[in-house]
Amino acid sequence: MGSELIYRGSETQPSSDSYSPKPVKPWASVTRTIHYLLREQRLLFVFVGIAIATLIFTVFPTSSAPYVAPHSRFTTLIPDSITYFPIETQQKFSSAHRLGFGSANPTSKIPLGLKRKGLRIVVTGGAGFVGSHLVDRLIARGDSVIVVDNFFTGTKQNVMHHFGNPNFELIRHDVVEPLLLEVDQIYHLACPASPVHYKFNPVKTIKTNVVGTLNMLGLAKRVGARFLLTSTSEVYGDPLQHPQKETYWGNVNPIGVRSCYDEGKRTAETLTMDYHRGAGVEVRIARIFNTYGPRMCIDDGRVVSNFVAQALRKEPLTVYGDGKQTRSFQYVSDLVEGLMRLMEGEHIGPFNLGNPGEFTMLELAEVSIYYPLILLMN
């Protein structure tokens, strides 16, 4: 038997002039479609379908055009309780910054099951002093908050009033390890803030600032979240300029015992800007100045907590030097307001967040003696 693979290349092809195609009938496809629709009352079914759909969307209307966070990948409803967010900004954002889901037609109605009540926000270090107050405000605004904390200086007690709230989650996690979460915003606060704590394990402090920030920026990049870094006035080091403007580059000792914190935060700022410039991550940088208020760690060695602790124990207050050196102190709720405005605003920063008014240490000592609890009251 011969092979079944037969070469036919040499066979003659029909010559082109022997081929005579059928003449194309004009309107053939249109008339065929009309006939198809009219056959078996198909057109009637189409009209009935349209009528049912119209009825459903009239009887169960979805919300009117939803607000879309400028940086959110999802359509998001901002509750009425939001007080600090200017209406013009909301309108501007809702028309100008629509991304991802629902971006094609901003006024289109979203299916009922997909409606979301607020933003999904991660707060690293959310069980700490500043973080826990920020969490309170975000939850009150109607957002879903995930706190990521290793409880080095923070405590569960600071956030336990949210336990049982479906909008609240607490994850024991060290930011030095990577983490994947689906969120719209990341407030990155995780880092011991007082000298007593950050000098306790300086290598860990710098790892938290560098590797931790890298991990959170990586997360922001992956999920398209906006990222806010809580940096510090310590990036100015031993400043030669008073007051320090954001444009001042500082005077920092790279090899001192505080460098793990100062240089760590400076590197965190560098990483933040490089992720912004290189990977297009939306970032914000806050440089926080001295802050006080409830849930401060009473033994953290900072001047307000030192004075208050000594006053409550009825011990003499320790004032260094002549006590005429000045510092500024902001109340924690003002800081939280500033952080949230920065996150929602248009500007990257860095922004100094603090109280422009300065007090001498003697003035602070006096307040601490007479009203120690006022400094820690809500």
Ligand X SMILES: NC(=O)c1ccc[n+]([C@@H]2O[C@H](COP(=O)([O-])OP(=O)(O)OC[C@H]3O[C@@H](n4cnc5c(N)ncnc54)[C@H](O)[C@@H]3O)[C@@H](O)[C@H]2O)c1
Applying CB under 6 A, does 376 fall inside the site for ligand X?
no
Applying CB under 6 A, does 196 fall inside the site for ligand X?
no
Nearest-approach distance from CB 120 to ligand X, in angstroms: 19
User: What character string, x for contact with ligand X (CB under 6 A) and - otherwise, covers 36-55?
Assistant: --------------------
Site for ligand X in 143-162 (CB under 6 A): 149-154
Nearest-approach distance from CB 114 to ligand X, in angstroms: 32
Question: Binder to ligand X among 191, 216, 271, 340 (CB under 6 A)?
Answer: 191
Candidates 45-53, 239-247, 284-292, 366-374; binding stretch for ligand X (CB under 6 A):
284-292
Applying CB under 6 A, does 291 fall inside the site for ligand X?
yes
User: What character string, x for contact with ligand X (CB under 6 A) and - otherwise, covers 293-322?
Assistant: ----x-------------------------
User: What character string, x for contact with ligand X (CB under 6 A) and - otherwise, covers 324-353?
Assistant: ------------------------------
**SS3 readout for the chain:** CCCCCCCCCCCCCCCHHHCCCCCCCCCHHHHHHHHHHHHHHHHHHHHHHHHHHHHHHHHCCCCCCCCCCCCCCCCCCCCCCCCCCCHHHHHHHHHHCCCCCCCCCCCCCCCHHHCCCCCEEEEECCCCHHHHHHHHHHHHHCCEEEEEECCCCCCHHHCHHHCCCCCEEEEECCCCCCCCCCCCEEEECCCCCCHHHHCCCHHHHHHHHHHHHHHHHHHHHHHCCEEEEEEEHHHHECCCCCCCCCCCCCECCCCCCCHHHHHHHHHHHHHHHHHHHHHCCCEEEEEECCEECCCCCCCCCCHHHHHHHHHHCCCCCCCCCCCCCEECCEEHHHHHHHHHHHHHCCCCCCEEECCCCCEEHHHHHHHHHHCCCHHHCC
Number of residues that bind ligand X (CB under 6 A): 29
Applying CB under 6 A, does 193 fall inside the site for ligand X?
yes
106 vs 294, which CB is nearer to ligand X? 294
Site for ligand X in 108-137 (CB under 6 A): 124-125, 127-131
State the residue for tokens 């309108």.
91
Site for ligand X in 222-251 (CB under 6 A): 230, 232
d(CA 337, CA 348): 16
Catalytic residue among 261, 275, 370, 371: 261
Applying CB under 6 A, does 215 fall inside the site for ligand X?
no
72 vs 262, which CB is nearer to ligand X? 262
Candidates 56-64, 83-91, 112-120, 169-177; binding stretch for ligand X (CB under 6 A):
169-177
d(CA 100, CA 76): 12
Applying CB under 6 A, does 192 fall inside the site for ligand X?
yes
Residues 6+ apart with CB under 8 A from 373: 308, 312
Applying CB under 6 A, does 262 fall inside the site for ligand X?
no
| 261 classed as catalytic | yes
Nearest-approach distance from CB 307 to ligand X, in angstroms: 15
From the centroid of its chain, how far is CA 90? 17
69 vs 206, which CB is nearer to ligand X? 206
Q: Which residues bind ligand X (CB under 6 A)?
A: 124-125, 127-131, 149-154, 174-176, 189-193, 208, 212, 230, 232, 288, 290-291, 297
The catalytic residues are 261
